[in-house]
Each structure stands twice: as C-alpha cells, then as structure tokens.
C-alpha cells in the first residue's frame, strides 16, 4: 500500500475562525489568564479550559444534541494549531476533546454520551488514556489488567501507569483483558471501558518527572464495578477501537508544535546573524511540510477513513523535528537555556527538559517505523 497524503479542500470560513481564536488568545494573554509555554497541551489549567468551553473551542465537531456545533474537522484543526502556537495551557481538556469524546460518540451508548459529552464541551470534564501498564507499553496487546463479567456490568482489576493527568481528571478510557489471553490471537479478548475515577476501588497517585511536574500517574483497580452501559463498542472489540483512537492521537498539530513557542521566541531575540536565520528558516520549512501532511490526515479522518500508517509517519517525523528544535536553538547566538526569569532562556530550558519524552508518548520511533514498514509491505 503506497502512502497517500491528499490535500483536503479547505472549507470557506477558516480565516474567520483563525481570526476569532487569535483574538480570544490575545485577550486571554493580555488579561493574564496564561503565559505562553512549550508542551502546552500537557499544561493542566481547568480555569483556562472553562474559558475555552465558554468560547466554544471544545467539542466543535460534535453533534449539537450533545453540546457540539457540528463544525468541520479542519475548523477544529485551525483552533488547535493556534492554541498550541500561542503556548496556551490546553492540557486539562486536550485528551477529552481530541480522542475520548470522539471515541464515545463513535462507540459509546447514548446514556454515556449524555452523561459526559456536554461537560467536556463546557471545559469541565477531563479524561486520561488508560492504555499503558508496567509490562504493556509499546506492546499494548500484553495488557494484563482484567475485566470480569458480573451481573449488570464488569469488575475491573489491575494496574495502569503513565496516564497523563490520571490523578486529577474525572474519567479514563481504559483497555482491559476480558477474555483469557490466547498467544495465537494476542489482540483478541480486549475491551475498552469508560471509567468514572470516583468509583470505589480505584487508587491514584501522581508520578513526578524530570521537570518536577506531576503530569503522570499510576492507577490501581481493585474489584471496580463498571456498568454495562460504560463498555465502548462490544466486549472483545477493544483492539480495533484502540487502534482507531491512535490515528486521532498521532497526527495532530501537537506532534510538531510542542516547542513552537520556543522557536517563535527565538526569532525575537536573535541578533540577525545569518547562520541563525538559516537554521530558524530550516526549522520553519519543516513545520510547513509537517503541517501539510498532518492536515491531509485530518481531511482523511473527516472523510471517515483511518489513515493509521500516514498518522504514524506524521508522528515520527514530527517528533524528530520537535527534538531537533531545542538542540538547534541552544546553539544560536541568542544564548542557551536557563531556568529562572520567565523569558526566552526559560522557555528553551523547558523545551530541552521535555524533549526526551516526545518520542515516547503515543508510540516510540521503533514502533512507528514498524507500522510504516508494514504499511509499505516491507515487513
Ligand atoms: C509524556 C508521556 C505521556 C504518556 N501518556 C500516557 C497516557 O496518557 N496513557 C498511557 O496509557 N500511556 C502514556 N504514556 C506511555 C507511553 O505510551 C509508553 O511509554 C510507550 O508506549 C512506551 O512504552 P514503555 O515505556 O513501556 O517502553 P517499552 O515498550 O518497554 O519500550 C522500551 C524500548 O524498546 C523499544 N521497543 C519496544 N518494542 C519494540 C519492537 N517491537 N521493535 C523495536 N523496538 C521496540 C522501544 O522503542 C523503546 O525504545 C506516556 C508516555 C510519555 C513519555
């Protein structure tokens, strides 16, 4: 199968929504409601999420019946890229808006849609991704946490790790083994559940990372009852659902704009040195190419296709760009990274500390390249 990156027809009105979201962000920045930062889609700020909800920037494409506006995926794309480029703290609602809400719309029961989607749209309900376990990261089919059928629902047991913001969000979509593991069909027997994290039997603890941030978490499940209404799709369909979810997770502008605020800040502090300009220009050109590929995947998703291989390629190239950017910037004449007063050096220091994680979250290069090779028939 050759890779395919058709350029989507951009609907009219994109410039209007871009102007609107820029005006919103300018206003919020001037009012002191946020300070630009790198990796801002991990920055957990419920007050800012509620502002986004009030302004209509969450769940934009979702059905009106659940609080959405039925706008196009490309309009949403413009909003998300402007939010990231501005370094705004969209982390609280990011996962719910990007993948959990769409997953519930596609595969959830009407009861769950009504329970949850309007709260996400308002910027009040947040989600985590309950996939990874201590022995199931890249090899997600090794998931060992179990779901056992009981009267009216399921009992969940096991342990999840690395869930971004899992200790402070209200829900996760978790992947559990609901049929005994079969080595010949490793992807069978998995099920996704929508889990209210206030349910008894769940323990959560934050995990501190290199930067001192407590974004990660570990969650344990001890006989946690989840009603049948909170199963996504059909029991046993979990692998199919999770791979569909990953196409949404891997191809968005957050895969190449995480450190854009550092690049933007660099342009205002360099002293016009020609080699600085050449390096910055090269990085900006990369963003142009990545954006075209990412927009193409967004168009395919909007058309109802699942371009998993193309999404893996966007993520792999995007992560390479994001990891190269701080390395290039620190060699510019403007000076190196330094935590301290909030300014270019500080933003650059944050970018450098966050960069190692970019190629882990959402799939490592080795795993992504395996998917791409298989898609190209090379494996
Ligand atoms: C910032 C961040 C946020 C995250 N957020 C979440 C979250 O919200 N929810 C969640 O569920 N998880 C999350 N994760 C976990 C992430 O998805 C896993 O870390 C990732 O899947 C890798 O798994 P692992 O850490 O167990 O490493 P392993 O899978 O043990 O991999 C270790 C090394 O072996 C290599 N390797 C593994 N298998 C192969 C193979 N078949 N071929 C070649 N090389 C291979 C890998 O490339 C890697 O270099 C997050 C991780 C990070 C860094």
For ligand 1, say whether the CB of 360 is within 6 Å of any of its atoms.
yes
For the chain, the distance separating the N- and C-terminal CA atoms, rounded to the nearest angstrom, is 12
Q: Is the confidence at residue 311, as pLDDT, over 80?
A: yes
Q: How far apart are CA 245 and CA 306, in angstroms?
A: 9
Q: How far apart are CA 98 and CA 81, in angstroms?
A: 13
| Residue 150 phi, psi dihedral angles, 5° rounding | -135, 175
57: three-class secondary structure by DSSP:
coil
Predicted pLDDT at 302: 82
Average pLDDT over residues 325-349: 86
Residues 6+ apart with CB under 8 A from 102: 61, 62, 248
pTM above 0.85, yes or no: yes
The rounded radius of gyration (Å) of the Cα atoms in the chain is 21
Question: pLDDT digits over 242-283, tens only?
Answer: 988 887 788 899 999 999 999 999 988 877 778 889 999 999
In total, the chain counts a number of residues equal to: 379
Residue whose Cα lies nearest atom 52 of ligand 1: it is 361
**Does CATH place domain 129-240 in 3.30.360.10?**
no
| Residue closest to 254 by CA, chosen among 84, 43, 54, 97 | 84
For ligand 1, say whether the CB of 136 is within 6 Å of any of its atoms.
no
Residues 6+ apart with CB under 8 A from 59: 66, 67, 68, 69, 97, 101, 117, 120, 121
The torsion angle over the Cα atoms of residues 271, 272, 276 and 278, rounded to 10 degrees, is: 170
Q: How confident is the model at residue 122 (pLDDT cuts 50, 70, 90)?
A: very high
Predicted pLDDT at 73: 87
Q: From the CA of 138, how far away is ligand 1's center (Å)?
A: 5
Q: How far apart are CA 349 and CA 265, in angstroms?
A: 12
Token pair 């979810």: residue: 245
Q: Is the confidence at residue 155, as pLDDT, over 70?
A: yes
Pick from 71-85, 151-165, 281-295, 336-350: least confident: 336-350
Mean pLDDT (the chain) is: 93
Instruction: Give the largest Cα separation in the chain, rounded.
Output: 70
Predicted pLDDT at 329: 93
For ligand 1, say whether the CB of 319 is within 6 Å of any of its atoms.
no
* Domain boundaries defined on the chain: 14-125, 129-240, 251-375
From 94, 103, 132, the mutation candidate for ligand 1 (largest count of ligand atoms within 8 A of CB) is 132
Q: How far apart are CA 71 and CA 62, in angstroms?
A: 7
Q: From the CA of 369, how far away is ligand 1's center (Å)?
A: 14
For ligand 1, say whether the CB of 264 is within 6 Å of any of its atoms.
no
Q: Is the confidence at residue 227, as pLDDT, over 90?
A: yes
Predicted pLDDT at 2: 78
Pick from 86-95, 194-203, 212-221: least confident: 212-221
Tally Cβ neighbours within 10 Å of residue 330: 18
Predicted pLDDT at 1: 62
For ligand 1, say whether the CB of 131 is within 6 Å of any of its atoms.
yes
What's the CATH number of domain 14-125, 3.30.365.10, 1.10.540.10, 1.10.3720.10, 3.40.390.30?
1.10.540.10
- For ligand 1, what atom is nearest to the CA of residue 131? 11
Angle 244-110-297 from CA coordinates, rounded to 5°: 25
Q: How far apart are CA 251 and CA 248, in angstroms?
A: 6
For ligand 1, say whether the CB of 26 is within 6 Å of any of its atoms.
no
- For ligand 1, what atom is nearest to the CA of residue 140? 21
For ligand 1, say whether the CB of 132 is within 6 Å of any of its atoms.
yes
Average pLDDT over residues 196-222: 94
Give the CATH H-level superfamily of domain 251-375. Answer: Butyryl-CoA Dehydrogenase, subunit A, domain 3 (1.20.140.10)
* Higher per-residue confidence, 52 vs 275: 52
| Residue 146 phi, psi dihedral angles, 5° rounding | -115, 155
Q: From the CA of 365, how far away is ligand 1's center (Å)?
A: 10
Q: How far apart are CA 132 and CA 84, in angstroms?
A: 25
| Residue closest to 219 by CA, chosen among 238, 233, 205, 234 | 205
Confirm whether 129-240 and 251-375 share one CATH topology: no
Q: From the CA of 361, how far away is ligand 1's center (Å)?
A: 6
């Amino acid at each position: 199968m050759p890779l395919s990156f058709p350029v989507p027809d951009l609907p009219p009105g994109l410039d209007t929504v871009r102007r609107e979201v820029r005006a919103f962000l300018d206003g919020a920045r001037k009012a002191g409601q946020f300070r630009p930062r790198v990796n801002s889609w991990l920055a957990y700020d419920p007050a800012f999420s509620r502002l986004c909800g009030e302004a209509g920037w969450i769940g934009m494409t979702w059905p009106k019946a659940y609080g959405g506006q039925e706008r196009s995926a490309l309009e949403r794309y413009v909003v998300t890229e402007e939010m990231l480029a501005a370094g705004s703290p969209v982390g609280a609602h990011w996962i719910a808006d990007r993948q959990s809400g769409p997953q519930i719309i596609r595969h959830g029961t009407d009861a769950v849609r009504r329970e949850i989607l309007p709260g996400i749209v308002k910027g009040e309900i947040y989600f985590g991704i309950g996939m990874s376990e201590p022995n199931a990261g890249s090899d997600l089919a090794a998931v060992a946490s179990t779901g056992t059928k009981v009267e009216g629902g399921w009992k969940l047991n096991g342990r999840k790790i690395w869930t971004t913001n899992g200790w402070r969000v209200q829900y996760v979509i978790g992947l559990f083994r609901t049929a005994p593991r079969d080595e010949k069909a490793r992807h069978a027997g998995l099920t996704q559940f929508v889990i209210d994290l206030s349910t008894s039997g769940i323990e959560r603890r934050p995990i501190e990372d290199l930067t001192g941030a407590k974004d990660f978490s570990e969650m344990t499940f001890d006989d946690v009852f989840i009603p049948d209404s909170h199963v996504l799709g059909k029991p046993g369909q979990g692998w199919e659902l999770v791979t569909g979810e990953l196409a949404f997770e891997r191809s968005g502008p957050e895969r190449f704009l995480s450190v854009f605020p550092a690049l933007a800040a660099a342009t205002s502090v360099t002293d016009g040195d020609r080699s600085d300009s050449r390096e910055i220009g090269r990085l900006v050109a990369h963003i142009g190419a990545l954006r075209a590929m990412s927009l193409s995947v967004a168009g395919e998703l909007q058309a109802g296709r699942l371009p998993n291989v193309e999404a893996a390629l966007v993520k792999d190239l995007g992560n390479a760009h994001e990891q190269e950017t701080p390395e290039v910037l620190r060699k510019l004449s403007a000076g190196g990274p330094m935590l301290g007063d909030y300014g270019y050096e500080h933003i650059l220091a944050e970018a450098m500390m966050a960069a190692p994680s970019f190629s882990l979250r959402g799939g490592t290069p080795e795993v992504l390249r395996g998917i791409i090779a298989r898609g190209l028939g090379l494996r």
